Amino acid sequence: MTPDASPVSEFANLVTSEAELEEICGRPLPQIIAKELPALDQMCRDFIATSPFCLIASANPSGYLDISPRGDPVGFTHIISDTMIALPDRPGNKRVDTFHNVLKDPRVSLIFFVPGKMETLRLRGTAQICADPKLLSKMVVGGHAPKLALLIHVETVFAHCPKCIIRSNLWQPEDWPESSQLPNMNAMMVKHAKINKTPDEWFESLKGTGELDLY
């Protein structure tokens, strides 16, 4: 199925127009629309400077969306100006899906989180891959500079309301679900990639290859 194709559904009463959507959900207050900014103000800069984690969305050439997590010590996002930020690229699984996507379609969207903070910050813009040593030297952690950074030209930024964080109890450890029974990454890799090893054997095989390096 292509992104433009309508999925087959067993359910009735599908919403297929903006008029139907607005009839059900209503329209946002004018202030909700007006809160979008074309650049970072000081409050947005402070939020990003306090964030240790964000999600970045990009689109592949087929039009399908990809979402990738990014995390580092607080303030890992380098704020270059009110209209430009940079995210360091730390060692990972070398898929670099976001970078492959950006080479074809530079449009990206991000959402920043601050632990304990109910609000989030959403940002849209276009991205470029940068290997400038001067920029990368400002992103050193543990004595290691990233090999690449993602430059993001800010086009729209706005605060997102806290209701989803409140409803999910995301920052309330006493309400977190029991997760010890869930498989870890090694078990999922062995299962999904059909690797002829036990999860522990797979983990041991990664040691010394650099695949487990954080920086």
List domains and CATH numbers for the chain: 29-168 (2.30.110.10), 177-206 (no CATH)
Beta bridge partners of 86: 78, 151
Backbone angles phi, psi at 191, to 5 degrees: -70, -50
pLDDT of 3 reads 64
Determine the pLDDT at residue 4: 62
Count of CA atoms in the C-beta half-sphere (13 A) of 43: 9
What is the SS3 assignment for 182? coil
> What is the C-alpha separation between 62 and 9, in angstroms, rounded?
22
CB atoms within 10 A of CB 168: 10
Per-residue pLDDT of the chain (215 residues; tens, 9 = 90+): 566 666 667 888 899 999 999 999 999 888 888 889 999 999 999 999 999 999 999 999 888 999 999 999 999 999 999 999 999 999 988 999 999 999 999 999 999 999 999 999 999 999 999 999 999 999 999 999 999 999 999 999 999 999 999 999 999 999 999 999 999 999 999 999 999 999 999 999 998 888 999 99
- Structure confidence at residue 5 (pLDDT): 63
Decide if 190 contacts 205 (C-beta within 8 A): no
Q: Please report the pLDDT score of residue 199 as a whole number.
A: 95
